Structure 1
Amino acid sequence: MEVDTAGDRLIVYRRTDSRFDAALSGLGLGVHVDLQNAPRSRKEMRATHDHLVPLVGSTTGYRIIRVSSGGDELAFTRGVVEVGVNGDLERAKRELGAKFGDRIQVVAVEPPAG
């Protein structure tokens, strides 16, 4: 969910489900509810995240610095978990893309200081 106070609306990212939509509309929230289709469920996003975390420290040519939790807007609107890597970005995209397909987005990030 996302609250758009300027637009006076509640944005709900969900998998299409007529029963859920009907239940939500029956709540009488008093604000406009904007239903957005999510390509993947939170459970699917968590499973992708949980398969990526063990790879931290186990790659060659690049280092996984962070794996998003799947709770950000990118996850909801595009159905991807963001993987931040340092090192050979193209190799990371190729190798991780082969394992996770369109469930991830690989981006370059700086390693943590220290």
Structure 2
Amino acid sequence: MDTAGDRLIVYRRTDARFDAALAGLGLGVHVDLRDAPRSRKEMRATHDRLVPLVGHTTGYRIVRVGRGGDDLGFTRGVVEVGVNGDLQRAKRELGAEFGDRIQVVAVELPAG
């Protein structure tokens, strides 16, 4: 929701019936419809394939798997994967398996 611009931003897969139903709600604000690169179902499927890899990688450790319900997921259609260890290896290996459906980022673990 963009409160400064008094508008509602909706990321969705193109669907004329959904768009018409949303328009019929009479929300009283401008509704900005944006095409989502992937559906929530697709994002969830990627997430669900990543989770079993936690604790089962070599040279890096997956420490966080996003759910795709954030700006990165909505706007780019990717699930963020936080890793600790060999970032380049993680990008190479996970990228080979998941392609452009993920973004691999380095995560520093707290000391202790």
Distance in structure 2 (CA, Å) of the matches to 1:10 and 1:113: 41
Tell me which residue corresponds to 1:52. 50
Q: Say if 1:70 and 1:22 are closer, same or farther in 2 by CA, change over 3 A.
A: same
Tell me which residue corresponds to 1:15. 13
Distance in structure 2 (CA, Å) of the matches to 1:45 and 1:69: 7
**1:43 equivalenced with 2:36 (yes/no):** no
Identity over aligned pairs, percent = 87
Runs of 4+ with deviation above 3 angstroms: none
Tell me which residue corresponds to 1:95. 93
User: C-alpha displacement at 1:112, in angstroms?
Assistant: 4.0
Tell me which residue corresponds to 1:5. 3
Unaligned runs of 5+ in 2: none
Secondary structure of the 1:4 match is coil
Tell me which residue corresponds to 1:67. 65
User: C-alpha displacement at 1:111, in angstroms?
Assistant: 1.8
**TM-score, with structure 2 as normaliser:** 0.96
Tell me which residue corresponds to 2:77. 79
**TM-score, with structure 1 as normaliser:** 0.95
